[in-house]
Structure 1
Amino acid sequence: MSHLYYPKELSWLAFNERVLQEAQDINNPVIERVRFLGIFSNNQDEFFRVKVAEIKRKALLKKAEGDLKSLNKYQILIDNIQRQVIKLNDKFNQTYQQIQQELKKNGIEIITHEHLSQYHQQWLKQYFTNKVLRYTQPLIISNLIDFPSCIEDHLTYLFVELNNQNKYQYAAIEVPCTETNRFVLLPKEKSSNIQKIILLDDVVCFSLTDIFKGLFVFDDITAYSFKITRDAEYLLSEQDLDDSILMKMSKSLKQRLHADPVRIVCDEQMPSRMENKLKKLLGFTSYDSTSPGSRYRNFKDFIKFPNVGKVNLRYTKWPALDNQQFCKYNTTFEAISEQDILLYYPYHKFHHFKEFVRQASFDPAVTSIKLNIYRVAKKSQIIGSLLDAVRNGKKVTVNVELRARFDESNNIEWSKKMTDAGIKVLFGIDSLKVHSKLCLVNRVEQGKIVKYAQVSTGNFNEDSAKIYTDFAFFTKNQLIAEEVDNVFKFIEHSYKDVHFDHLLISPINQRKRLNQLIKSEIKNAKANLPAKIILKLNNLVDKKLIDKLYDASNAGVDIHLIIRGMCSLKPGLPGISERITVTSIVDRYLEHARVMLFQNNGAPLVFITSADWMARNIEDRVEVGLPIYSPPLKQQITDILELQINDNCKARIIDQQQKNDYVSSKNLKKLSSQREIYQYLKQCENHD
């Protein structure tokens, strides 16, 4: 049966190849291409920290159990991943070289310390002394230190070799990117209009002698960059029963600092003698990945490449749109009372949601506010409004998901601050992550409590709302709002029986309802009635649901899938998935909204949801799918889906080999869905 499913790990790498394609696309502004290199690099790091680390743990477990058949399966997968990673690294390096040439054509040059003019050498010596030296702390390698535990996985290091009459001393230097800018803009020389940029890595390399002289004797000194990637998994101890969940999480996060490394990436110019020494010091095994790379490691910082040069080297800004319904009324509550409202970030302003919470924080009629937090900004105006609400005598309840990967520390800090302020802070359910994005406001109107609900496909995060596409739905429909309140009750008291007629809730009724919706389309197809399914998801890897889609395809249901990331379903298999097409869109915004449309014999059922079709989202998380009942809003979502299906600029075909060929625009007018959606929504908002 394995031939029916594409390995999810390799599919994830195929997704990241699509990100790399955006860096390769000469039609994209060159500085944005640089930033896509940063996104690609950041994604690769996360892939090794999560996916590869998980495979490594499973392989080691099977080895310990003596299960050689399973061990061999994981080893084959690791080998396939390694081959694909090497291929992508080669493409990455070629792309970076091409982009450097394009930057130079536009008056921007990234230079190394070997190519500094006399003027820039003198300037850089002063810069290093005044701005960088104070943050430079060499780690001298000896038997006195535990070297692996001193190296963190989110940082760039230089591995330094000091040679004194063929006797070698080694050291590691952290490139201090958190204390000062990774990109140093060199002053322009009188004879040139070129803006030269040198990376902090090279600034430190240029100053190596100054760092070590007087303290060490050496004839020669060299340095090459490296970084490691550690296993991001951690264990919550079942011991220490008296510990709060906050204390357990804080302790467990420290495991990441000392977790086993799963990858080392070093400068391809690093001599084999130094590379072998480094691997030995870090304790690398045959299950770990070693990748040669370009001169610089931690390309994720290139996401923040400086805005230099002409404005046409960057994306033309699309100003976020005001929602006219919100703008027509004095308060957000009046606007929502008039009709349901749908926003689509980042095309619409996130300001409207912030204003909803801000007004609730001091509205005399509001009695309580409830909110789920999965990821929030480090400087969150939303939490600021919740703190104000407590000061104004409102009852505020916030469920914080402490296990939101890589946001745990931020969420722990906010939890402490909110608890100190008097907010009732919940930490969800031990066995389930709370991934739903809900806000509920209780308001007294004509002597009765009226509930206002907001359901979103994305986080309440001011930062990600600028780059992630997500739907946010506001309603005063009491049937929906009551069920949103029941989700909060389920989170707080998971042992209580709660019932849902409208919302699709993981793990309560989500799988059952999805199966029913697919089965209904199958029934219609067999009765020669119109039958179609459109799904827009981040990931599709749940084999049980994939099998249901295969069944639907065989029954005659037309299925179009828009999958941003992992897709284990194989379209076009004879007799299995011939009626299924899959595309993936990667563009300036990260496609994050999850949408489901079932044709339902001409009366379409449309849902927005926080859940991808993965076993963890269906069974191991609290997720919410929302039916859209408003005909105009249902039509708006349908129109947006149609634009995405017809994209022939940024859409790739996901075939059985996941080759990432672009959808052909031959003989067709070019259509970039994100650009068209912006124009479509702009027209919708101006219509009134």
Structure 2
Amino acid sequence: MDLSNKKYYINRELSWLEFNDRVLEEAQDKKNPLIERLKFLAITSSNLDEFFMVRVSTLVSQIEAGRGLPDPSGLSPLEQLKKISIRVHDMVSKQYSCLYRSILPSLEKEEIYFLSYNDLSPKQEEFTRRYFNSTIFPILTPMAIDNSRPFPLLNNKALVYLIELESENDDEENLHAVMQVPTVIPRIIELPKTEESKREFIFLEDIIKNFISELFEGHKVLKSALFRITRSSDFEIDEEDAPDLINEIEKYIKQRKWGKPVRLEIEKDMSKSSVSFLKKELDVQEEDLYRIKGFLDSTVWFQFEGFKGFEHLKNSTLRPNPITDFMDKDIFETIREKDILLHHPYDSFSCVIDFLREAALDPQVLAIKQTLYRVSGNSPVVNALMEAAENGKQVTVVVELKARFDEENNINWARKLEQAGCHVVYGLTGLKTHCKALLVVRKEEDRIRRYVHLSTGNYNDSTAKLYTDIGYFTCKETFGKDISALFNVLTGYSKITGWNKIYVAPAGLRKMIIEEIEREEENALAGRPAQIIAKMNSLVDEEIIKALYKASEAGVKINLIVRGICCLRSGVPELSENIKVVSIVDRFLEHSRIYYFENDQNPRIFLASADWMPRNFDRRVEIAFPIEEKDLKEEIINMLDITLSDTDKLRIQKADGLYERVDKRGKEHINSQLVFYERSRKKYLDFLKDTTYGGE
């Protein structure tokens, strides 16, 4: 078969939108608690913001630059934009239908109300007037638009009022002004109670609208309506010619704030004259316009999640469980005894932080080396590295400054690390350092020993509670040598011709995966057992997809657990009949990358930092590392089996690229994430029972 045939590939942007529809499904699912449904609405909107800022803006740039080559599915950038517009307009319509027809009425049954200004009691009106005068009014800045004051540069994603005012002269056009809704105070405001059982809220912009005329004394306000701009973040950083990479990235961050508008959201009842005015000033087309009936910017529901008293409307908290292997034991001694696998967030990430803290304080530790891609705002990981440097350890940190939307945070941490005495390196020119590696060099009685931690996810203590990832501790010399060599590549001029255990992109990771797929193909053709299971965030790479199609044709059974984008089309007769693609969207974001190859009943299993995308293979430093111990291999195989047996949150891709939930009839109810949590919890509780931790 012609494996380049465009009908065998799904467009990556439309596949991503299909993923975001699965997120929206969680908001629509009445089995989920109400506050969780609101959170999924917020996630859907946050995802769309980034999609427009990055992916849509990239397509716009390609068209403007005349680089409009079709993608593997045969769609040109212009065709993609047209399909995206249709799909997103439909998605936004479903979002607001879900909010107003389902979630808000259900909240009202719980006596939680969102009021408009006209619904307020006299007591509440007095409250809002006082709040406006004392807090809101001093912050507001109305900006007139006329010949001497052009349309201002407005912040990306800010809520802004467009105000139309009556002209002083009858023969002149109406006046216009804009005013940003403040972001320095909460947007959702709780009102004084009218009844003890009720909780009532109002939106900040509704209060502002009621008092808006007070900001334009002497003028008659004719109309006012909200709008929101999403700006392009598609800027290139010239690393080759940049004399100072940090300064170049700081310029990029500033540019991003004022990028070209790629989406304009407006209140549905905005007047035609105001719409025309905005379209002209912002240079947006009708297909870039989104008329919203309701609250603009659904990411506001993240704020509502933080209000107290709604615990009964949320999922029960699943607190990460301590790692029993490390309890009441020396952490280095434990790793010497055996390799350890961690499954976050079910297993606590705190053991990684403890490992770093112990290394920072241990007089026998000589050096620490670590890669950082995304870290939290108050990172205990970075604090431990700084403490280690202050204690005289040699600390080397490879900080990826180009981690999109985390650049500013990473620059701040890089400077603090340098001030603490760490050696800070920014990786290789033209490549993002996306691998997750930590190396501790320790002087022991008999030798210098290297302790290694590798992971499928970032060294971020915040996301480690929200993302599913797998971590791995070892002190095997083969791994130690490889990770030492990797850091030499990242910080110096080393060129490695071969590795003991790991595989590295862009030097050969794609080649290794294709060879493993082809081995399964050969085994299937020879009548030997052949199977592939791969778990990842996205599958886009055309070479990998072609190799999977060939393996499927040969009879290899292939299960792909792909959370987000999947450009491979499963279930196509005579091509991908042996391929099953599934996706799980649940309370934790599925983030781990696992590659399983049957290898004639001698499975080869790899954990990795890389998805199967061109950027991971060609433009990033990534690593895949093998899991070889029998018990750990069995543990990972069990993880994959449980994931594939999910009947609650698993969706299956159909040949048309759409997804459907599992037919649950006659099947046991299995929520894989809850199964993983209960297994981790049981291990911890059993440990307590068997030790003095359990008390009497």
Structure 2 partner of 1:228: 229
* Aligned counterpart for 1:175 among listed residues 177, 181, 206: 181
Measure, in 2, the Cα distance between the counterparts of 1:14 and 1:66: 23
1:273-672 counterparts in 2 under 5 A?
Answer: 273-285=273-285, 289-305=288-304, 306-329=306-329, 331-494=330-493, 496-672=495-671
CA contact (8 A) 1:107 1:193 kept: yes
SS of 1:300's partner is helix
Shift of 1:501: 2.9
CA shift in 2, pair 1:66/1:105, >3 Å: closer
- 3-state secondary structure, aligned to 1:398: strand
State whether structure 2 residue 157 is matched by structure 1 residue 154: yes
Query: Residue 81 of structure 1 corresponds to which residue in structure 2?
Result: 84
Report the CA distance shift for 1:660/1:111 in structure 2 as closer, same or farther (over 3 A): farther
CA distance in 2, matches of 1:663, 1:66: 37
Distance 1:524 1:370, change over 3 A: same
2:356 is paired with a residue whose SS is helix
Q: Tell me how far 1:236 sits from its aligned partner.
A: 2.1
**1:579 is matched by which residue type in structure 2?**
N
CA distance in 2 between partners of 1:140 and 1:416 (Å): 40
Q: 1:587 to 1:239 in 2, by over 3 A?
A: closer
Mapped to 2, the partners of 1:169 and 1:466 lie a distance apart of 51
Report what 1:31 is aligned to: 35
Q: Say yes or no: does 1:204 pair with 2:208.
A: yes
Secondary structure class of the residue paired with 2:600: helix
- Contact 1:607-1:628 within 8 A present in 2 as well: yes
> Which deviates further from its counterpart, 201-210 or 619-628?
201-210
CA contact (8 A) 2:560 2:582 kept: yes
TM-score by length of 1: 0.95
Contact 2:436 2:457 in 1 (8 A): yes
**For residue 320 of structure 1, what is the amino acid of its counterpart?**
P
C-alpha distance in structure 1 between counterparts of 2:308 and 2:421, whole Å: 46
AA aligned to 1:86 is H
Instruction: Please give the alpha-carbon distance, in whole angstroms, between the structure 1 residues aligned to 2:363 and 2:80.
Output: 60
Any idea what SS the aligned residue of 2:65 has? helix
Aligned in 2, Cα 1:263/1:442: closer, same or farther, shift over 3 Å? same
Conserved 8 A contact 1:208-1:221: no
The one-letter amino acid paired with 1:186 is L
| Distance in 1 between residues matched to 2:293 and 2:355, nearest whole Å | 48
Which residue identity is paired with 1:3? K
CA contact (8 A) 1:225 1:296 kept: no
1:268 aligns to what?
Answer: 268
* Structure 2 SS opposite 1:371: strand
Superposition deviation, residue 310 in structure 1: 4.3
- Cα deviation for residue 444 of structure 1 reads 0.5
Displacement after TM superposition at 1:431 (Å): 1.2
The DSSP-based 3-state class of the residue aligned with 2:66 is helix
Return the offset for 1:547.
Answer: 0.5
Offset, 1:657: 2.3
- Structure 1: how far apart are the matches of 2:642 and 2:118? 50
User: Gaps (5+ residues) in structure 1?
Assistant: none
Partner SS state of residue 383, structure 2: helix
Q: Is the 8 A contact 1:37 1:303 kept in 2?
A: no
1:56-67 equivalences under 5 Å are: 56-62=60-66
CA distance in 1, matches of 2:520, 2:64: 44
Of residues 115, 118, 125, the one that matches 1:114 is: 118
Between the aligned partners of 1:301 and 1:439, the Cα distance in structure 2 is 37
Q: CA deviation at 1:123?
A: 0.5
- CA–CA distance in structure 2, aligned partners of residues 672 and 268 of structure 1: 40
Structure 1 pair 534–494 and aligned structure 2 pair: CA distance change class (3 A) = farther
C-alpha displacement of 1:78: 1.1
Residue 692 of structure 2 is matched in structure 1 by none
- Indicate conservation of the 8 Å contact 1:328/1:335, yes or no: no
Partner of 1:257: 257
1:454-489 residue CA offsets vs partner (Å, 9 max, x unmatched): 101111111111111111111111111211121111
User: Which amino acid letter does the alignment assign opposite residue 504 of structure 2?
Assistant: I
Q: String of CA shifts for 1:64-95, please: whole Å, max 9, x gaps.
A: x999xx99832221111111011101101100
What's 2:690 paired with? none
> C-alpha separation between the residues in 2 aligned to 1:115 and 1:658?
46
What number of residue pairs does the alignment pair up? 676
The one-letter amino acid of 2:451's match is Y
Conservation of the 8 A alpha-carbon contact between 2:156 and 2:258: no
Q: Confirm or deny that 1:12 pairs with 2:13.
A: no
* 1:389-439 per-position Cα deviation (integer Å, ceiling 9, x unaligned): 111001111111111000011111111111122211101011111000111
1:345–1:470 CA contact under 8 A, matched in 2 = yes
Distance 1:66 1:531, change over 3 A: closer
Rounded Cα–Cα distance in structure 1 between residues aligned with 2:686 and 2:239: 58
| Higher alpha-carbon deviation: 274-283 or 18-27 | 274-283
Structure 1 residue 682, shift from structure 2 partner: 2.2
Q: In structure 1, how many angstroms separate the alpha carbons of the residues matched to 2:525 and 2:635? A: 29
Q: Does 1:46 align with 2:47?
A: no
Distance in 1, matches of 2:210 and 2:420, equals 49
User: Partner of 1:172: helix, strand, or coil?
Assistant: strand
| Structure 1 residue corresponding to 2:166, chosen from 141, 163, 168 | 163
Q: Distance in 2 between matches of 1:529 and 1:349?
A: 40
1:520 partner amino acid = R
Percent identity at matched positions?
34
| C-alpha separation in 2, matches of 1:143 and 1:417 | 46
Q: What's the offset of the Cα at 1:135?
A: 2.0
Offset at 1:16?
0.4
Amino acid at match of 1:21: E
| Counterpart secondary structure, 2:404 | coil
**Gaps in structure 2 of 5+ consecutive residues:** 688-696
User: CA 1:495 to 1:279, structure 2 compared with 1: closer, same or farther past 3 Å?
Assistant: farther
Separation of aligned partners in 1, 2:497 and 2:289: 50
The 3 A distance-change label for structure 1 pair 416 and 662 is same
**Cα distance in 1 for residues equivalent to 2:674 and 2:508:** 36
Aligned equivalent of 1:186, options 183, 191, 213: 191
Question: How much does 1:560 deviate?
Answer: 0.6
1:217 aligned residue: 219
- Write the letter of the residue equivalent to 2:78: Q
- Deviation digits for residues 498-524 of structure 1, max 9, x if unmatched? 421311210112011101111111111
Q: Would the aligned equivalents of 2:583 and 2:652 in 1 still touch at CA under 8 Å? A: yes
